[in-house]
Structures are given as C-alpha cells and as structure tokens.
Structure 1
Amino acid sequence: MALGTESIWLRRHATAAPPRLRLLCLPHAGGSAGFFHDWGHAFGDDVEVLAVRYPGRQERIADDPPGSVEELADALADELPPLLDTPLAVFGHSMGASVGYELALRLRDRHRVSPQLLMVSCRKPPHLLTPRSAAVTDDTALIAEVRRLGGTDAALLADPDLRELVLPAIRADFAAVARYSARPGIPLECPVAAYVGAGDPDVTADDMAGWAAVAPQGFGLTVLPGDHFYLVPRRDALVADIRARLAAQW
C-alpha cells in the first residue's frame, strides 16, 4: 500500500497535516471498522486513526472471513510498513487484543519496529487464555453468546435479513478465537495498557493484570464501569484516558 492510496484493510481518518502519531484500532469478534467510527477525530488534529477492516463484513462482505487470529496479524504486518514512518499505537478490543499482540510480535520480528504502546481491552493475555465455551458450530448457541456479551452486534441479529449477512463473519471470528489457544507469553518491546469493564462476565481485572508479564517496558490497568462492551457507554472516559496516554508519551 502506497501512502495516499486506499487500503482494503484500513479505514483511515486522515488529519489535515501529517500526523505525529497513528492509532490502529482492532475490533472484536464479529466487529467491524465502523465500531470505531466516532473515534476518528477524537484524539486531536495530529493523531490519525486507522480502523481495521476485517474481511467478510461491510465493504469486504464478499471476502472470505479470517481463518485465524494469526492470519489477521500476518496480513496487517504486511499492510502496515508504508505507514510506519510515523509512531504507531495499537488498541484492540476482545479478539482485537490478541490480534494486536500478535501484530506487535510480527512488526518487531519482520520489520524491526514495535508499537509505541499496545492497548488491550477485555481479553486475557496469551499465557492465561482458556477455551471458549460457546459451541461455535451451532448458530443458536452462537447467537445466544453474542447476545450474552452484548454490544452493538447483538442488535443486528434481531433482523433476519441482516442476520444472514453478519452471521458468517461472527461464526468465523468465534472459531478463530476458539483456535487461538494458550501459549507462552513472549515479552513485548513496548508498554502495555489494559482496560476492562468492572462487570465483564468473562474477564476480570486480575485476568487483565496478567498482561504485565509480557510488558517489561511498562504496564497500566484501568477498570471502568460496565460489561464486556463498557467502551460504548463509557466511550468518553475511555477516549480521554487514551488521549492522555498518547499525549504523555509523544
């Protein structure tokens, strides 16, 4: 991808002047770049937000959904180098946190560059992962699991026509999450900031504190009111916290 060209992988919220920082946002399982739409210009005129377009949804509805977390990280590691002339921060929610971690490892190993900051939300660190209990091959159970977790995607499942469009990507993402099993945590060369909703049904603050084991460059944990999708009702508080972290480091 050349600078100034459109990317099938990235929805770029361009700044008027060259940015001092880029913030890459990785959605949850079943999520899309649109989930971060109102983050586009929330971090100042010098921060360019890049929302990742996973295949199999929205503009990429005709593309095959991802087969694994690693596949997503591989593709993004190949896509990002033209944009690495500017410092990069990464935010990943739920499945996106695992993608962000794997991406950070690939950027370091393949391109000798690390994000300035990795922010992970509502996802256990790689060495503490436990198997998903949802029967991802059973659409009834899958829909029930999406509704249990909440979030904007749950509303789409109420419409039969929309359900047919979004369910394949949700099914593929949940299968990818299930296949991403526990593994030794490889330390990163960047600080890590972790976020979680106090009422998340699956991930606790203690779980998120486990990210410190792969963050020898620095670690911080923020707990906000809410559940697995705390970042919707607590959007302003989360954005303010991220903005402060970015301003403090650059």
Structure 2
Amino acid sequence: MSAPLTVKPWIKRFPAVGRASSGPILVFPHAGGAAATYRGLATALSASGLDAYVMQYPQRAERLTHPATATVEELAQDLFDAADWSVLGELQLFGHCLGAVVAFEFARIAEARGVDVRRLWVSASEAPSAVAASPRLPTEDREILAHMLDLGGTDARLLADEDFVELLLMAVRADYEAFNRYSAAPDVKIRADIHTLGAHSDHRIAPDMLNRWQAHTGGAFARDLFDGGHFYITELAGPVAELIHGR
C-alpha cells in the first residue's frame, strides 16, 4: 500500500478506490498531451485498486508559464524532482507514445537514485534506440497540425478555436523538439520489467516496433495488442487498467 506523498500541485492524483492492491502507477502523457487527457485511464486505474499519479509537462494547463525542457532527459528529471517518490515503495510507470520514452528515462533516473521501479508499461511507442533513426517530427505549425490529425486523439472541432490551437502548438512543438534531440544506445537498459501495449490498426507504431523494447530491459518482457488505432487507450481505458491490475 502506498504511503502519503507530497507532490507538486500540477501532478494529478487519483487515489485507489478502497485499499490499494499494490504500489502506485505514474502516468506519462503523449506529446502535447495534458494530464486532463488521461482522466479516463487514471479513473479506471483507480477503480481497479491502484493509486495513479498523472504527470503534467511544462507549457500546458497549470504549467503554462513553465519553460519547456530542451531534452527528454531534462523533462524526466523535472518530473522525478517533483516528489520524493521513494516513500511510495515499488513503482509502476505507464507512458503513451512520447510518454513511454519519458517514462523510460524517468526509470533510469529512479534506479540510479535507489527508487524501486517494478514495471514500465510502454504504450504505442517506438523503442529508445530507434528514435534517432526515425523521421524527425515536424516543428512548423501547419505540419504539426497535419501530423496530429493523422495520429488522431485530437477533436478536430477544437482546432477551429484559434486560442486553443495557439496553446496546443506551443506544447506540442516543445515536446516534438525535445523528442527530435533524443537518442539512446541499443544496450541502454533498465532493471524493471517492460510490458508493451499497442493496437492492431495503429499505422504509426507497428507490433514489431514494440518488440524492440525488449533490448532495453534486464527483466521480463511482454507484449499485448488491443483493437483500435494509435489512441486506443481513449476507448479502452477499462481493459487497459484491468490488464495492468492483473499483472
């Protein structure tokens, strides 16, 4: 059962319903994603008996005025420094797309600091060692919007709101630029188990791309696929939470 923890106010906690069945899980959003986007998943994790903490990156919501971090590693350090995670005992981490790479770097920092990480849940993300060779993410406004629409996950109706689009582009560009600077060697590993999740119809991350994460763990590796596209977790938060709880 997790211990009380004081965290920065921009980290959203969803306490376990009833007595927590195991250690907490930290959720890392996708590029441009705000913590509020993961309310559905966090609520499902809470209902399954897990304390869930959803991270908030700079340049959005309560952190709108916080300067963007230049690299994924700096973002992971920023989030690690937001609390004394060691008081919670053994952690699980869940990251979607870019969030999985941020969570991986968070795990590396945590393990180096003596914080126990039991498992990293990777959702719809290419492996760290594959990022540097992948096509660069766009950083110009029009190309960013086209890329986001192609991935799905953003209500097209919201893109008619100029103020919303301006703030969205600021957050996405910061994340994309950090991701474009990222690289990791194939032999960089964490001790924690890695369990990858993806979707059969995700045209961005194919199942075989998920398999490359196996090289980055010194523990166990597993993979599960769901129906849906890149943002399958929006519709399948319940089944994803059930799988995580079951493990």
TM-score, normalised to structure 2's length? 0.89
Could you say which residue in structure 2 is the equivalent of 1:248?
none
**Structure 1 residues 49 and 163 mapped into 2: Cα distance closer, same or farther (>3 Å)?**
same
SS at match of 1:220: strand
**Structure 1 residues 212 and 50 mapped into 2: Cα distance closer, same or farther (>3 Å)?**
same
Number of corresponding residues: 242
CA–CA distance in structure 2, aligned partners of residues 84 and 5 of structure 1: 10
Identity %: 31
Shift of 1:42: 2.2
Offset from partner CA, 1:145-191 (integer Å, 9 cap, x none): 01111103655323212112221011111111111135334221111
Stretch deviating more after TM superposition (208-217 or 138-147): 208-217
Stretch deviating more after TM superposition (181-190 or 68-77): 181-190
Shift of 1:79: 2.4
Shift of 1:61: 1.6
1:90 maps onto 2:96 in alignment: no
Higher RCO (C-alpha 8 Å, min separation 6): 2
Amino acid at match of 2:203: P
* 1:131-170 equivalences in 2 (<5 Å): 131-136=134-139, 138-152=140-154, 155-170=157-172
Offset from partner CA, 1:91-137 (integer Å, 9 cap, x none): 0000000001111111111x21231110011111112223334431x
Could you say which residue in structure 2 is the equivalent of 1:102?
105
5+ residue gaps, structure 1, are: 246-250
Stretch deviating more after TM superposition (150-159 or 115-124): 150-159
**In 2, are the aligned partners of 1:146 and 1:153 still within 8 Å (CA)?**
no
Could you say which residue in structure 1 is the equivalent of 2:195?
193
CA–CA distance in structure 2, aligned partners of residues 202 and 82 of structure 1: 33
RMSD across aligned C-alpha pairs, in angstroms?
2.2
**Structure 1 residues 133 and 201 mapped into 2: Cα distance closer, same or farther (>3 Å)?**
farther
**Structure 1 residues 7 and 124 mapped into 2: Cα distance closer, same or farther (>3 Å)?**
same
SS at match of 2:190: coil
**Structure 1 residues 24 and 174 mapped into 2: Cα distance closer, same or farther (>3 Å)?**
same
Structure 1 segments of 4 or more deviating over 6 A? none
TM-score, normalised to structure 1's length? 0.88
